[in-house]
Amino acid sequence: MIRNPALLAFAQAVYEVFGDLDGTGEGLTVEQIQAGCPTTDPTMFDNRIALFKQLKLLRRPHGHAYQRRLLFNTTSVAGLLVFDKLRRGTGIQEILFLLDETRREIQAGLVTREEVSERLTTLRRALSISAGELVQLRDRPVEELIRERRNHRAADRLLTEAKELVHVVERRFLELSSAGAKLITQALRYSGAANDLVDRLLRAVTAERDFSMLLPEQYRTAALQSAPEALALVFANMVFDPPAASITPDEILATVEQYRPRGPLRRAPRSPDLPADHDPLRRAREQQDRQRERREASLRLHLRGRSEMDLTTHIESLCWPEAARFVAEVLAASSDPEIPFTVRLSDELRVNADGSVSYVTPVQLIEDGRRAR
């Protein structure tokens, strides 16, 4: 029996080192154990290792007493696991396991009458002690009940397992019926005490409206089995704030864009079949040359053999869209160095309220022989 918590923690650390590093089963050296327990006080390490050897928690391989390697005793593994279960307070789970194991072994014919009688007595005593513990909790504070409830959540299952075991015992060993009846009495006593514990917790929940006292399975059971009206009573006296929009317009737009159905996919038009000698640059130059010839011919037509010509009257005679296109063509031709014409714009403004062109700036076209073709 280890009474020092620090020594027990060291035993757990040594157990973890062997479980992680001794993958071959050949054991570990003292140096390897010390390297795997870096938080251990170096001054106490040797004394604790010597104590573990004395307690047979650590041993040397059989027939190899001279080896420096140590093995972790499998009995010590079981002891640490059992201690961990006892530390968590799961004694009721052990009673359930013994009930189920006894029932299965009786059905398989693996136990004698004396063994069954001994187990029934052991189970009766364990249930009597557990029921007495629950009875003592009746007058304890609610906080203590909450801490203890996790250890007694299998009351109904325990009673069912006890009834099934007694049923099997009466069919196989009829003379043990009285021992089985005593076991059922203690199981009923334990189940009643556990139910009283739950009822007191539920009354505390109702009075204090503290829903943290309820277990997750209780919430699930209420949601599946209770009527909507009963569930609504929980919030009957609660006050709620009116709902408020907690989303911005930008978030709405982003959500709409995210879930908007995608439009149909449109394929690009298929490119036409072009000859092998097709040259887009050469074709563009040819189009530009033809446009330049057209503009020059149009301007010469307006000059009528003269070197200068006032185009203002002609512009005023056109409708507005045609006048705008004509002026744009004249200005484009004058800006082209390959066309030998210049446009002179006046700073005057002629206004005709009745005409199609309500106002116009005088435009004069001049042939410029100095500009080379």
Q: What is the pLDDT of residues 221-239, one digit of tens each?
A: 878 888 888 888 877 777 7
Alpha carbons 32 and 22: distance in angstroms, whole number: 10
Alpha carbons 46 and 187: distance in angstroms, whole number: 50
8 close to 2: Cβ distance less than 8 angstroms:
yes
Quote the mean pLDDT of the chain: 79
pLDDT-derived band at 373 (thresholds 50, 70, 90) equals very low
Q: Which long-range contacts (CB under 8 A, 24 or more apart) does 141-145 make?
A: 142/200, 142/201, 142/204, 142/213, 145/197, 145/200, 145/201, 145/204
336 close to 357: Cβ distance less than 8 angstroms:
no
The conformation of residue 268, written as its DSSP 8-state character, comes to P
Alpha carbons 357 and 240: distance in angstroms, whole number: 72
What average pLDDT does the segment 263-273 reach?
Answer: 77
Side chain identity at residue 71, one-letter code? L
Q: What is the pLDDT of residues 43-91, one digit of tens each?
A: 778 788 887 788 778 877 765 555 678 887 777 766 666 566 555 545 6
Q: Tell me: pLDDT of 94 over 50.
A: yes
Q: Is the pTM of this model over 0.85?
A: no
Q: Tell me: pLDDT of 114 over 50.
A: yes
Lowest mean pLDDT across 59-68, 127-136, 169-178 = 59-68
Which residues, in sequence order, are CB contacts of 343 under 8 Å at separation 6+?
Answer: 330, 331, 333, 334, 363, 364, 365, 366
pLDDT at 115: 92
- 3-class SS at 56? coil
